[in-house]
A = this chain, B = another copy of it.
Amino acid sequence: MTKGEVTQLHLINVGASLFHLQGYKHTSLSQILNAAKVTKGSFYFHFEDKQAFGLAVLNQQIDWFKESSRLHLNNSDLSPLEKIETFYRSNVVFFQKNDFKYGCLLGNFSQEMSTLSTEFAHKIAMAFDEMVALVSDVICEGILMGEFNAIEDIDLFANFFINSWEGALVRMKSVKDESSLVNWFTMIKQLLFIT
């Protein structure tokens, strides 16, 4: 990695953390520069403006989220149910470690940015679709292996899986504990084992 790439990644990481906690709009450029200890000149060398920076943060978060989800949902050592369970448990651990202050950046951005920027909305919509595809594969595998009951419309189910997960995270942020996530996993298991 070049020195420039290190600075760029550092800015993105600091931005992601601030956006996660405070939201995109509430985070000013000077706050990012202060937290990252980077000059304005250096920022504008790497990013055209705050929106371009926001898109870079969103892209990196989507990549990170897909990567960490694949780690569980594509792990061929696990059964389909175990894949879903480790996805769920690793997320609970992450949110617990951060006192339930973080939600899903994708969900946060969707709430905050979708009405303001078509580019953000489009990117978020695509990322959701990719998550749905990842879940569809696991469900499909589970049905074929006989671990899950036959689910008629896998696409319908996988979309509901992701949407209800996002909803559990919204609720989590006001309650500040894992109860809505536990609720989600209990219900998803019910859906997987009954038809």
Contact = CB atoms under 8 A, between A and B. Distances in A.
Interface residues of A, number: 47
Interface string A138-172: 00000000000000000011011011111111110
A174 interface: yes
A121 B174 contact: yes
Contact of A174 (B25, B110, B164, B174): B110
Contacts of A159: 171, 179-180, 183
B114 A112 contact: no
Contact of A25 (B26, B169, B170, B187): B26
A57 to B, nearest CB: 16
Interface in A90-113: 101, 103, 107-108, 110-112
A184 B160 contact: yes
Interface in A22-64: 22-23, 25-26
Interface of A: 21-23, 25-26, 101, 103, 107-108, 110-112, 114-116, 121, 124-125, 128, 156-157, 159-160, 162-171, 173-176, 179-180, 183-184, 186-187, 190-191, 194-195
7 contacts: A21-B115, A22-B115, A107-B167, A128-B171, A156-B187, A160-B184, A166-B171
